[in-house]
A and B are shown apart, each in its own frame.
Chain A
């Protein structure tokens, strides 16, 4: 009997997530200076998280024939770099909540948080360097190059999004949004874990471009669903500030859709709302934006787009994985596409 996404994906995420967490402990041992650095460095990684990225990396490596331990340093590096991005992201967005608790910038202030983010980045590089004992110098070097590209794409995507907010961009299209998401989210959430896993499993770099399309469609569906959960997620399970994206003026697909669809007078009001800094925004204005999104069906539209992109991801999955022997890891990667839309 075929295992469903609801059963298989959480089981594999638990299994590979636990493997990664154990290995992660080696990099997060408490040491001095503890109070303002290493005691805080472990905070975000210890708050949990789904471990989607390291699990995808390990599963892909296994599909292509590697042992899980061969992918473990890269999976750990990915999780450390992910947490570094989150710390800096929270500072840049002035966010207040992360994984159900106050953000590091809220708890310790911006300077300490930025420094902790830098430390997490360096620990991630350390984990990548530890690959050389497992994979040898050439493959380790190739993974470092791949990581450099991933990090560069991510910060370029972040720059695009920050620029939209700083310049109060109001005339964005869905293509603009997808291009930003490709760089900001897809590269480090799905493209890099897939490419790194394939690199580790196959031992050579040819054919990695095939993972661009699969990773893009999967990652874009994931991001849109993530943004939808920010608006209508279960408060007990979501872990971040509900409607935080509206407070931050984040250019989500729903907001771009609203700007496209709404009447001119509404667009003027929305533009004025987005011009204000976060602290000057009122709850009544946020409620109005949310109500207009419902009125124009922006959430439903985004949901349909996410499903469509997930369908394309399944097509691209078949292009890559169909010739490979069936396995639990192969099925996990396939079911991941469904899971990103079903998760609450």
Chain B
């Protein structure tokens, strides 16, 4: 009978020390990025990839890069600033010295209102962007020919579909 006591005590200690922390990894969607798709300016229904695109975010040093921005892509996802209610993206179409082209810098501005939403223990809070407006700065030589918001008013709440179409 004493052995039963000992066994039960062992069992209780063992189980209380087990920490099954299966909600420790964040698997839910966090703050959505801005998804841009590139279309052909001449044939608006046709996707057109951009080659050698460089993305910088106003106020942040360094070039933004991730798997969505490769050498040839028709769709990119880039993060929006959460410390302020607007983000300036410097989208550079890099030139090629062999073809005699130079870098072409265009600026895309997005303004929005943020709404913080609780997700889970491991993911914490995300923010979603409501009442968003996107525009690009016109200059003498834009590579961006046109811009279209997918929805009006534009809400950036997930990354399932493009938010902005860029014609070039």
* Pairing of A with B: no
Residues on A close to B: CB < 8 A? none
Residues on B close to A: CB < 8 A? none
